[in-house]
Structure 1
Amino acid sequence: MTGPVIGTKTMVVSPHYLASAAGARMLVKGGNAYDAAVAVSAALAVVYPHMTGLGGDAFWLGYSAGEGRVRAYNGSGRSGYAVRRDCYAGEMAIPRRGVRSAITVPGMADSWEAVQREYGRLTLAEVLEPAIGYCTDGFPLSPDQHGGSVLAGAALSPEAAAIYLPGGRIPAAGGRFVQRQLAGTLRALAAGGRDAFYKGKIAEEISEYMQASGGYLTRDDFADHRGNWEEPLSTDYHGHRVYQVPPNSQGFTALMALNILERYNFADIGHGSYEYYHLLAEALKLSFRDRDRVLTDPAFSRIPLDQLLDKGYAAQLAASISPQQALAIGSEPVGRDTAYAAVVDGEGNAVSFIQSLYFEFGSGVVAGDTGILLQNRGSFFSLDPGHINTLEPHKRTFHTLMPAMACRDGKPAYLYGTQGGEGQPQTQTLLLTRMLHYGMDPQTAVNEPRFVWGRTWGEPTQELKLESRVAAGVQAELAEAGHLVRAVGSYDGVMGHAHAISIDGNGYRSGGTDPRCDGSAIGW
């Protein structure tokens, strides 16, 4: 394993080296962290198409050095006006693939312009230039995309298969991969901005495809879409202010877990010990229990965040944790594939962001000749009218995406996040405690063995998956305490792709990327 990349002024981390390079190019060009972040986001939409794309959502946390504050942007889409539970009468759940799973408007394109217009220095056309180049000139297909194609290739529509399974075959890793249709869409977006996507020919082609294919999204759904700037949620934790995007994001779950963990003295808890893994798993399980009870679109149901983030409530939850016995708490699987990235520039601006199509290749549907894979995020809505996350028109669903940032003395100290629905708050908690309590640099924190608790799709049990590098004695202790322990690979993909940046007291930026993916850290 290599050590961290250290820069005196800048740092970019992402799950694909070409996306990191796109961000670095913007910084060299004179752009700031916001310009670079949008360039990274757009590049990921091209070079990691099984994870993210123009047909998906994105959430952003940004620290503006000029304003001296952190702001959040919610770039998630809402269900269509015509999407109702009776569209699925007689069905137990919304289909997870196909055009009838693509029921929420993609929010990412809107978020690019909003973030860049508010804080960027370059034009949208300039920051989209690397992504357009990767589309037209091609790029070496990543091992991760190859693996995603093996896993989900059968779920692709004919239009999608023509692009992602050229000639009817799964493309080999390392081969040149070109996306002609997506290049045209990105050029239109670069020339016409977000309105080209939501009010122009792109929206027209997607909605016409939907109408012809039995889908539900319409031109009005696209025309009325807007993301929104929000005040982030935060909590104090050991001299740091930790920020998350508010609901419909699950970010408050990680803040709840930190409030619980604040009751414990990590100086007495060895890293990698039974006590360490048990305590983190229990704190997170308690947070998930409340999350599953209340999380939805806050425009449709009040979410009692004041109570959930109250330090007194955290003390009550901490008191319910037994040092020797695992809590019996259940959870539903909540998603899989995502791309997290972060950028810090020489002026002190910092952006932590995350984006997704939900499943590998999303709904599996490419709309017309746009080259856009549509997300299936809306398939997580419930068809039970009494469920907190029940499907209703023009509603945002429970969302797993949650970029994180921790500030020290009012300035960014840690930016961190990961792929993986249920795993996001879990891995974030691992990363922050490792960096803050045990003095690990970001690369070491990412490299150390990880766990993920909960059900995954198609599995009936609430397992505590532990990478096999966790000491055998620790695994045995966890099992004896009642955790349903399952050892997985030493660097198992089920743990997701985590990345982090830390900024020390001298202003040096240290970056770490996950060895489980194709990413890189670039800084100078």
Structure 2
Amino acid sequence: MKHVPAICLLFIAGFSLLSAQDRITGNLKASRSPVLAQNGMVATSHPLATQVGLDILKKGGTAVDAAIAANAALGLMEPTGSGIGGDLFAIVWDSKTQKLYGLNASGRSPKALSLDYFRKEGLEKIPSHGPLPVSVPGAVSGWFALHEKFGTLPMADLLEPAITYAEKGFPLTQLIAWYMGNSIPFFERQGFPNIRETYIAQNGGRLPGEGEIYRNPFLANTYRAIARGGRDAFYNGAIAKTMADFIQSQGGFLSVEDLATHTAEWVTPVSVNYRGYDVWELPPNGQGIAALQMLQILEGFDFSNIPFGSPQHLHLFTEAKKLAFEDRAKYYADPDFADVPVETLLSDAYAESRRSLISERAGKYEAGEISAGETIYMTTADRFGNMVSLIQSNYRGMGSGMVPPGLGFMLQDRGELFSLKEGQANTFAPGKRPFHTIIPAFITRDGKPWVSFGVMGGDFQPQGHSQIVMNLIDFGMNLQEAGDAPRWDHTGGSSPTGETGGTGAIRIESGIPYETVRDLMDRGHQVRFARGVYGGYQAILWDSAQKVYHGASESRKDGQAAGY
């Protein structure tokens, strides 16, 4: 070790935050500075999609126009996490009415599929892949609902950039190339039809790697049909018939009637006040209120004396998560089929009763008693003051493995998240929306917009939302630093699918001190390490005093925040 430079010694010793500690500004947890702009901002998980959204803003489009265009591009450029075979949720701040609007564009289960079918087939859980977990894809209905209410530019203009990229091709980014290189061979080994024709044959007979050009002319044709024929081009006619016929040929139940009768739904966002800031989520069938329940519990602790990443910080956070997720397993479901007690779950009194159960040791909890790998997240903002928080997903990775012939996309497997146990809130039923993990979020202050944000990543999402809120409010981090700070994830406990578990385990990202790990073990927590489970963050903050947008993008992904 003689004459080894000091910087090498730091790396040998395992100091993973060296570059952050070198930052002259002192933002120790930030990979880079926030992006600043006055006229508009787009933050997505792919730089080219971000530029597509930014171009739409520069042409005079609204934040909703930019969000649709960028989401269409992501369906092409990041098919491992999104696409028109999946669902969509959004929260929109409208500058004209000075209000938040929520959109639930999740699809329902096939009407011809029954709980009895699963029982007769001897299934205790809905399969992860194949035709049975396929529910109606809601994303396209979400685009048109958003566009009708808040869009200005023609839909054809919004889809044209994605169509051009699909036909001419674009280079695969590092992370997406890795995911596709794992997913596509898996689906081929399962023998699912149309995988090779859609993802490989169109690219010279070989799946492109990082930096190589990828094309999807089938998807270009589908987008062009939607641009010409509108919403009905997808949910009625040839495309709908192709989807339904294919799924039924594979032993599934999706029908043209299921597609034709699908509608997106405008819903009222719900909120809790966290230390003077209103944090907004969408009500079930999503899990957004789990983040609000966690924050309600955590607000009762004084974090001004609890440092970030300390044992007490992670312990209290984990216990709040366990409590909220037990309620999630019992109560969260499609409100058309179950009475979800949202108001009670978010009340101060209920939070106090749940908070009182937390001790200095790791606990195991049950739901409160009440009377009565992969997704994309993106956000946009425009010069008019509108902001969009949007999340879209096919669920487990690329989805079900079911690729309708000639359409260029895979259908979601969101139906896997139903429970097959009778009598539960989330038990499967025909025409029912499954419990949903994908959730957009928003923060207002004194009735004005402050932060549009989200953190994709399955069960991690409410935990990620709560961590971001605390990083901004409790620990005073800037927008980029709040997303770059080390994360942790608690896995285990009960699930809306009917599964139950013990106290579970905390998975720790690098950057959390080992002293914290040892202390958590002493409190009875199981602590593990994992990579790739800590979600993907994008955010836009509005500084009303300076009239400036701040943008941030996830350092763990390929994405970009950009403004003008």
| TM-score, structure 1 normalization | 0.95
Q: How does 1:345-494 map to 2 (within 5 A)?
A: 345-455=382-492, 462-488=504-530, 492-494=531-533
Residue 27 (structure 1) aligns with: 57
- 8 Å contact 2:285–2:433 — kept in the other structure? yes
Q: How does 1:35-434 map to 2 (within 5 A)?
A: 35-88=65-118, 89=120, 90-102=122-134, 104-153=135-184, 154-156=186-188, 157-166=192-201, 169-322=206-359, 324-329=360-365, 336-434=373-471
State how far apart, in whole Å, the 1-side matches of 2:500 and 2:112 are. Answer: 33
State how far apart, in whole Å, the 1-side matches of 2:548 and 2:220 are. Answer: 37
2:534 corresponds to 1:495: yes
Cα deviation, residue 9, structure 1: 2.8
State how far apart, in whole Å, the 2-side matches of 1:7 and 1:264 are. Answer: 36
Q: Which moved more, 1:502-511 or 1:281-290?
A: 502-511
State how far apart, in whole Å, the 2-side matches of 1:105 and 1:487 are. Answer: 36
- 8 Å contact 1:97–1:155 — kept in the other structure? no
Cα deviation, residue 84, structure 1: 1.0
State how far apart, in whole Å, the 2-side matches of 1:467 and 1:305 are. Answer: 32
Task: Give me the CA root mean square deviation.
Answer: 1.9
Cα deviation, residue 158, structure 1: 3.0
State how far apart, in whole Å, the 2-side matches of 1:98 and 1:286 are. Answer: 34
* Local SS of the residue matching 1:217: coil
* Local SS of the residue matching 1:26: helix
- 8 Å contact 1:136–1:178 — kept in the other structure? yes
* Local SS of the residue matching 1:112: helix
State how far apart, in whole Å, the 2-side matches of 1:58 and 1:218 are. Answer: 20
How high is the sequence identity, in percent, across the aligned residues? 38
- After superposition, the Cα gap between the structure-2 partners of 1:279 and 1:404, relative to the gap in structure 1 and judged at 3 Å, is same
Which structure has the bigger radius of gyration? Answer: 2
- After superposition, the Cα gap between the structure-2 partners of 1:3 and 1:424, relative to the gap in structure 1 and judged at 3 Å, is same
| TM-score, structure 2 normalization | 0.88
- After superposition, the Cα gap between the structure-2 partners of 1:303 and 1:270, relative to the gap in structure 1 and judged at 3 Å, is same
Deviations along 1:331-360, whole A, 9 cap, x unmatched? 9xxxx3110011111211110010100011
- 8 Å contact 1:441–1:502 — kept in the other structure? no
* Local SS of the residue matching 1:370: coil
Cα deviation, residue 147, structure 1: 2.0
State how far apart, in whole Å, the 2-side matches of 1:79 and 1:31 are. Answer: 35
* Local SS of the residue matching 2:285: coil
State how far apart, in whole Å, the 1-side matches of 2:117 and 2:165 are. Answer: 39
Cα deviation, residue 460, structure 1: 8.1
State how far apart, in whole Å, the 2-side matches of 1:213 and 1:450 are. Answer: 41
Q: Which moved more, 1:34-43 or 1:60-69?
A: 34-43
Residue of 540, 551, 558 corresponding to 1:518: 558
- After superposition, the Cα gap between the structure-2 partners of 1:71 and 1:480, relative to the gap in structure 1 and judged at 3 Å, is same
Deviations along 1:369-398, whole A, 9 cap, x unmatched? 111210000011122223321111000000
Cα deviation, residue 171, structure 1: 2.8
- After superposition, the Cα gap between the structure-2 partners of 1:42 and 1:256, relative to the gap in structure 1 and judged at 3 Å, is same
Cα deviation, residue 330, structure 1: 8.4
Deviations along 1:406-448, whole A, 9 cap, x unmatched? 0012121111111211100101111111112222111111111
Q: Which moved more, 1:20-29 or 1:140-149?
A: 140-149
State how far apart, in whole Å, the 2-side matches of 1:422 and 1:139 are. Answer: 31
State how far apart, in whole Å, the 2-side matches of 1:30 and 1:424 are. Answer: 33
The amino acid of 1:270's aligned partner reads: P
State how far apart, in whole Å, the 2-side matches of 1:165 and 1:95 are. Answer: 26
Deviations along 1:257-290, whole A, 9 cap, x unmatched? 1111111222111112112111212112111110
The amino acid of 2:59's aligned partner reads: K
- After superposition, the Cα gap between the structure-2 partners of 1:465 and 1:298, relative to the gap in structure 1 and judged at 3 Å, is same
- After superposition, the Cα gap between the structure-2 partners of 1:47 and 1:363, relative to the gap in structure 1 and judged at 3 Å, is same
* Local SS of the residue matching 1:53: coil
Structure 2 unaligned spans of 5+ = 1-30, 368-372
State how far apart, in whole Å, the 1-side matches of 2:471 and 2:57 are. Answer: 29
